[in-house]
Structure 1
């Protein structure tokens, strides 16, 4: 073929890189005067400083298993791998085997050589124990924004909620909520930002909403409303979930869903289920349906005011509940009650929204 001319293998892939074997029958370098065959493996894809271990084996085709092996794999990872700087970089041997000896050896059979190539790509290098470390504290950006809210400094927008005034910073609200961003900076923004009135929301709920937007955490409910009970905590989580959905605060919505899942109970599960249906909270809805459908819970839940509210506000959910109950063998109990319009003689068909005081 001539010095410097080669036969290349097909490209193969190892460690996320392409490779190819190059065999030079008359040698790669003219200085050897075609006395040796040359054998190299090359990086055939884009890469920078690719570290790898190689093994090139000239196979004995006589069956005697006297292979000629050149290997890197016995070397330590710290110093053993060869670094290929760029595409086309090669590793191998210019004087792999003397040509006259090769032509009469057991490696050659029917004018054919069999060469096996192994590649091991080193993804990372080992490190010794670190003598020094610097502790990095967790992010406290929420605390900084929270303290800014508590200080009242720099506020430039006021909200009137249920007779109370809440001062905030427009830029913070806009950064956290696309709804506030449109309301405060969009083409249809409120002209009077000195005092924006918030309808259909109670003051403690709005305060909790604002607290989350600055602190990125739920507030202390007892401190906020002055009451300490599981029922009040659940009621606040229900109202706050609706507020989170209204202002497109997905993380707050998920926090409220998680809190309601933990606090699910006989007295509150029906209203929580109605809330989950109205605000498309699929996971919370599933938890509530499974809880109500349990034989030990079903009868007691159906006797609550919340269940009446559920029937009135979300009748389609009752059908889904029937399916859950049927799985538990209690289909007849719920079906009979669903058809009874006089389940509770004290109910007048209306549901009064519970308030947080």
Structure 2
């Protein structure tokens, strides 16, 4: 008994949130004391609560000449990985004043905060109004936090793989195909290339696909597998259809995913359809690349032409 091939997959996700902490009349905060802070409202990201803490006179005596800013984790779990930026906005809202770069930290109950003890020099905030970094005459100060919480990786057994049934036909018919001892009557087969029909006939006699050159069965082109899938669906050869579907699932890329999704939709190939959707949604970069691909544009053009022809037929009636 041959057990089906199985595959597991490690998945790591993330959630990104942005929070702006606005403070009015900053000059009134100056002088409240080292180690004392004002806190933003709590905000949620990745299933955890967070806040921004601003120390007008510095977090410690060592940084008394600076304003300090920290991102504070308010949850109870340990090992919460996050990447974040803390930036002060200019008068016109441009994020350029305090570009400290992106930070990465593992937060926990023991180490709940991480940030910048020397966020900005107090003197830069208390300069004359014409050169001050504060927003307008009201002394507004805005701290922006862009936080990405990385979810713990999880491993799952993929359930969308195609399970190809065991062999249905005995292999001894291969000799008859090879020796040409067949019925001499001819049958016209339309809408099928000779090489595809040869693959189909080989499978009917042997319940397998022939080797392709010296590379073995896996070297059959994706185009051949697509045509063979159509033929298998036409003649109700479910095992062959699933074999083609399985191989097409394993070779999806940006240029082919759109046409394969259309093929899967036309021939009720749920596994291939799901594999295409999973590929497209795997990342924003992949989605954008698919939309810009020639395959996607070709399908859109075909649909547009089909709608136009349908509209003309309706108009003629």
Q: TM-score range by the shorter chain?
A: 0.3 to 0.5
TM-score (normalizing by structure 2): 0.39
Quick check: which one's strand share is greater?
Answer: 2
| Bigger relative contact order (CA 8 A; separation at least 6) | 2
User: Normalization by structure 1: what TM-score?
Assistant: 0.35
Q: Which has the larger radius of gyration?
A: 1
